[in-house]
Amino acid sequence: MTEKVRCLIIGSGPAGYTAAIYASRANLNPVMYEGMQPGGQLTTTNEVENFPGYPEGITGPELMEDLKKQAQRFGADIRFGMATATDLSAAPYKVTIDGEKVIEADTIIISTGATAKYLGLPDETKYAGSGVSACATCDGFFYRKRKVAVVGGGDTACEEATYLAGLADHVYLIVRKPYLRASKIMQERVLANPKITVLFEHETVGLTGDRVVQGANLVKRRGQADEEQVHIEIDGFFLAIGHKPNSDIFKPWVETDEVGYIKTIPGTPRTRVEGVFAAGDVADPHYRQAITAAGSGCQAAIEAERYLSEKGI
């Protein structure tokens, strides 16, 4: 079963929904497949206070529903389904949905996002949105004058610990190895900050608290003769061990970096495949914010409209 469309948007979230709004208003008749998590990562966030236009804040699911309704108001065809294979060797490009249906598209906007890496503890799910976060910039504001922990030993972890130290009362940086992997300058900033305590050779084995995070159980020098059980009292637990861009099915065709983020022509959402654009976290290893994702979705839709116009499609 094959269907032909002018503009296909793969993935939802702020980037995908914004692209759908702009593409619909440009009469591109976009079809969107929302993916495994309709609305993207933001649907797991209880409170969003940094998205413009919501002075009192809004929950992540409500914000995504607003964006979805706005796209549908202008005629976007939003469907539940997941892209499972692609053939971008020649236009019209072919995308397989749920392993069955094939969509032929004149232009494609990839907005599949990136998935935060977690330790795999059951408590991470238990306290999701209630003290567990994978974005200090998003949620750090809620932990002003409180104690938090950051897991990780690379640049991202050090950056998040430093950012949180400007808000929180104290920050524990939980590092599995006996050293930091971060760049020298980031290591120096962390080690020189009196509000950050680095816990080397510690691993988190569980979180505690009544409905919200109130503490973390750690093991120091796990598996060694001097192994030690440690408990710290915290109000927030931040994961900073990386993200995995959801780009696997596109890798044979578009260029990605070593982690898997899709590379675009600087300053644009254009990939190396003509008529294929990338927006949001799948192409953003630096900011990963709802507002930057939305902005890139706008750019992708405008570029798609220009491409189709130039091709006379």
Task: Please provide residue 170's backbone torsions phi and psi, each rounded to the nearest 5 degrees.
Answer: -155, 150
139: annotated active-site residue: yes
7: annotated active-site residue: no
Omega of the bond leading into 92 within 30 degrees of 0 (cis): yes
> How far, in Å, CA of 102 to CA of 264, rounded?
25
How crowded is residue 116: how many other Cβ atoms within 10 Å of its Cβ?
A: 18
Active-site residue, from 138, 158, 281, 284: 138
Beta bridge partners of 230: 218
Active-site residue, from 106, 123, 139, 281: 139
138: annotated active-site residue: yes
Active-site residue, from 135, 158, 235, 281: 135
* Buried b / exposed e along 37-53 (16+ C-beta atoms within 10 A): bbbbbbbbbeebeebee
If we measure between CA atoms, which residue out of 303, 278, 241, 305 comes closest to residue 13?
Answer: 278
Judge whether 223 and 232 are in contact, CB under 8 Å.
no
How crowded is residue 28: how many other Cβ atoms within 10 Å of its Cβ?
A: 27
What residues have CB less than 8 Å from 213, skipping those under 6 apart? 127, 130, 131, 132, 207, 234, 235, 236, 237
How crowded is residue 207: how many other Cβ atoms within 10 Å of its Cβ?
A: 23
CA angle 298, 247, 126 (to 5 degrees): 95
If we measure between CA atoms, which residue out of 244, 249, 282, 246 comes closest to residue 99?
Answer: 249
Place of tokens 């503490």: 215
CA angle 35, 38, 43 (to 5 degrees): 140
Catalytic residue positions?
Answer: 135, 138-139
